[in-house]
């Protein structure tokens, strides 16, 4: 039985649908902190269509509402997750349209082709963030080989000498590490 007081009565929604959502306070805070950034990001990709950018922004935050674990992670901010969901929603929108640009006029084409540095920086950030997460999932041995060969630009023989293993082991570890990275990067798209 609810007790009414001078303040607004509180009701506990213990339904299955409510259990998988973040609190209203957390959602409002998330929205107030990051809505402008996500909207700006999508506006630059929406072919000059502010309504599309707004729709995709709302859908991004709706997805966040149903994923409270975004706020519980060890990340300092939920913004990278929001950007990834926004980017994936935009890609899904393009796919659903059959990749046709019939709605874009010639004036809007310049806006589409002239991406700002901020958009490119976000894309680079998201790629780096995804790659760091995928690299962290590798074993120490596989990560060491990938780091030496691909990030330090060492040859197989130089890597083998540095790590104290035969060149065949470096090749094998590199093969399996790259296969694992591909799988991890494919599977770890944010739930959208």
pLDDT in tens, 63-80: 988 888 877 665 567 888
Q: For residue 165, what are its two tokens?
A: 């293993």
Q: For residue 18, what are its two tokens?
A: 């409510």
3 state SS of 96: helix
Specify burial of residue 81 (Cβ count, 10 A radius: 0-12, 13-18, 19+): buried
Q: For residue 55, what are its two tokens?
A: 């729709």
pLDDT in tens, 116-126: 545 567 777 77
| Overall average pLDDT of the 104-126 stretch | 53
Q: Which residue has the higher pLDDT, 187 or 189?
A: 187
Check: CB of residue 83 under 8 Å from CB of residue 126: yes
- Residue-level pLDDT at 57: 92
What domains sit in the chain, N to C, each tagged with a CATH number? 19-99 (1.10.1740), 137-192 (1.10.10.10)
């Amino acid at each position: 039985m609810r007790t009414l007081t001078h303040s607004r009565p509180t009701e506990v929604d213990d339904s299955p649908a409510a259990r998988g959502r973040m609190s209203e306070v957390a959602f409002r805070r998330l929205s107030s902190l990051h809505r402008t950034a996500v909207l700006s990001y999508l506006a630059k990709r929406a072919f000059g269509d502010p309504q599309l950018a707004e729709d995709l922004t709302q859908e991004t935050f709706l997805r966040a509402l149903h994923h409270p674990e975004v706020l519980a992670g060890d990340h300092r901010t939920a913004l990278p997750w929001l950007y990834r969901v926004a980017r994936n929603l935009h890609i899904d929108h393009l796919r659903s349209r059959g990749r046709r640009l019939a709605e874009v006029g010639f004036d809007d084409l310049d806006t589409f082709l002239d991406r700002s540095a901020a958009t490119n920086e976000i894309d680079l950030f998201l790629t780096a963030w995804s790659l760091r997460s995928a690299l962290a999932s590798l074993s120490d041995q596989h990560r060491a080989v990938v780091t030496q060969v691909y990030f330090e630009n060492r040859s197989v023989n130089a890597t083998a000498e540095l790590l104290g293993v035969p060149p065949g082991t470096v090749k094998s570890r590199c093969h399996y590490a790259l296969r694992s990275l591909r799988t991890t990067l494919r599977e770890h798209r944010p739930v959208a």
